[in-house]
Amino acid sequence: MPKKSCEEIKDESRGLRGKIVETLLSEASHFEEAEYQLLKFHGSYQQDNRDSRSARRKQKLDKEWMFMVRTKMPSGTLTAEQYIAHDDMAEKLGNATMRLTTRQGIQLHGILKGGLRNTVRAIAGCGLTSWGACGDVVRNTMAPGTPINDQAHSATRRLADEISEHFMARTTAYSSIWLDGEKLDLSADDTAKEVEEPIYGKHYLPRKFKIGIAVPPCNDVDLFSQDVGFIAHLENGEVSGYSIHVGGGFGMSHGKLETYPCLAQPLFYCAAEHAAAACEAIVTVQRDHGDRSDRKHARMKYLVAERGIEWFRRKVKERINFPTEPVREVQLDTVADTLGWHAQGDGKHFVGVYVAQGRIADSETGETRSAFRKIAGEIDCSMRVTANANMYFYDISEEDRDRVNAILSEHGLVTGENFTATRQMGHACVALPTCGLALSESERVFSGLLDSVDVILEELGLSNDSILVRMTGCPNGCARPYNADFAFVGRAPGKYAMFVGGSSAGDRLAALEKKVILFDDIPGEIRSYLENFINQRQGSETFSEYWGRTRPEATQPTPEQFHLEEGDRT
């Protein structure tokens, strides 16, 4: 039988149910293709342990099937109790680690099929959800992580909550399969109570959809990588409106010229009260015009890039009845987080704690899991996952600061603001062993790579320079490599494509410098670019500024720049 397309799978899914219930009730070790696709809408990816693949193949054993379950929370905000609930799940149902994600969510890995329902129930039980954390819907809505409680930050977080709620799929599948009733039975397949999807319709969106909100000058949400990016404008400290950007997105495939990363482009400015309505108009243009015939060409970025921003703007305006203006000038400075201790402005304090590659675990290099659990359990505070997969603890009283510091140091941790600026910003995606799409290592080799890079930075006197380095195990780009100063994108074991020339403000795309380099050669390559930088540096310009000055063509991206080395481009 020919493989069904995702559009057919959605069409036949009875409100995203498919045979999920049947498979959960069966002895099957894993889900078939259609349910694997549908499961994503429910917040889970079916995976297998790739470290054990070849040994098990030799022993003629089935793959070691397991699941990743992702919790979404708008702006990355969660209570200490909700964090502890996740820590419990990681211990009892997962692989005893958690992964903070670069979209301000939390992933649990290594969940077995028999534990999947209990995991989803536990997430819902603590007041959060995995519904729509993956799949062809609006994903977790991002908003500024920095725990400042001024009007602007509060307003953007409220907007993130509003968008999140508004775009939640309405089908009853999630509650009936996972939440209703202690034990799962076939009655969960009952579609009698099924409801219409007012925004998504029967086929949901052509592809995933990502939204982020920034309060200038901070660009921690990496605004231009989003399908829709809102930049807040303030009048007398209040958000008066948003400059909306559309059509960002980073996935591509090596060598396939028709796939390429895009930065979001300016759409229009509108008053704050119309932001959610503008968002719905944008989402529905993509719903109705996005390319459903090819998933590799289905993101809204291709619609905007190929039909043109003028066309897209016209289509959005046909669906709204409020005034718009051209986007307003604004300067965003950095995608970095604010690590270390800071006053919130309301008498309380927050601390940004570095988490290497977002992995919360107890290891020889530090016991992030034990420390965070203790802080969440003992200290009166709230928590927020950052877009660089670090953690903010906030609403901490002056008296509790020493205790937090003591807990961190008892577990071998520091907050990280004394690390090189490059380490503070750098990030790598999950990749092996869980991600089925990984072509090479990423998370597991990145800290070691940064150790070598740190030595070079120190030798060249660049320890305080913010040089954005990102790595992914394949070109899908989950760690947002294509706007970094240096990015290494997996091609094969130990081999990476090297991209150079994005910007630490996140507002410029990099270009392919070398189609293939070996992992071991990465530090040497970085060194030679940095040596040129310091030889040609003017004043105190950053590496990003130097690149923009010396390679002005870098600001006009073409699809070729992501696939062909400079000399091969026309």
Q: Among residues 366 and 477, whose Cβ is nearest to ligand SF4?
A: 477
3-state secondary structure at position 423: helix
**DSSP of 184-225:** --GGGG--TT----TTT-TT--SS-B-EEEE-TTB-TT-GGG
The 179-218 site mask, x for binding ligand SF4 (CB under 6 A), equals ----------------------------------------
Q: Where are the beta strands (DSSP E) in 388-440?
A: 391-396, 427-428
Work out whether 431 is an interface residue with ligand SF4 (CB under 6 A). yes
Q: Among residues 199 and 471, whose Cβ is nearest to ligand SF4?
A: 471
Q: Which of 37, 97, 225, 265 binds ligand HEM (CB under 6 A)?
A: 225
Read off the amino acid at residue 497: A
Catalytic residue check, 435: yes
Q: Which of 36, 250, 393, 529 binds ligand HEM (CB under 6 A)?
A: 250
Catalytic residue check, 381: no
* Buried/exposed 164-181: b ≥16 CB within 10 Å, e otherwise: bebbbbebbbbebbbbee
Work out whether 473 is an interface residue with ligand SF4 (CB under 6 A). yes
Distances (CA, A) of 432 to 147, 438, 488: 32, 6, 15
How many Cβ atoms sit within 10 Å of the Cβ of residue 89? 25
Q: Which of 85, 188, 438, 469 binds ligand SF4 (CB under 6 A)?
A: 438
Work out whether 131 is an interface residue with ligand HEM (CB under 6 A). no
Catalytic residue check, 474: yes
Helix (H) or strand (E) holding 28: none
Q: Among residues 389 and 497, whose Cβ is nearest to ligand HEM?
A: 389
CB of 471 to ligand SF4, least distance (A): 9
Q: In what order do the strands lie in the sheet with 340-343?
A: 77-79, 382-385, 391-396, 349-353, 340-343
Catalytic residue check, 210: yes
Judged by CB under 6 A, the chain residues 341 through 400 that form the site for ligand HEM are 358, 389
Work out whether 477 is an interface residue with ligand SF4 (CB under 6 A). yes
Binds 68: which of ligand HEM, ligand SF4, none (CB < 5-8 Å by kind): ligand HEM
Read off the amino acid at residue 316: V
Q: Among residues 456 and 478, whose Cβ is nearest to ligand HEM?
A: 478
Work out whether 430 is an interface residue with ligand HEM (CB under 6 A). yes
Number of residues that bind ligand HEM (CB under 6 A): 23
Binds 472: which of ligand SF4, ligand HEM, none (CB < 5-8 Å by kind): ligand SF4
Cα Rg of the chain, angstroms: 23
Length of the chain equals 570
CA nearest neighbour of 475 among 487, 484, 459:
487
CA 569 to chain centre: 31
Residue numbers at the binding site for ligand HEM (CB under 6 A): 45, 47, 68, 99, 101-103, 107, 225, 250-251, 358, 389, 429-430, 434-435, 437, 476-480
Question: Which residues belong to the active site?
Answer: 70, 139, 208, 210, 429, 435, 474, 478
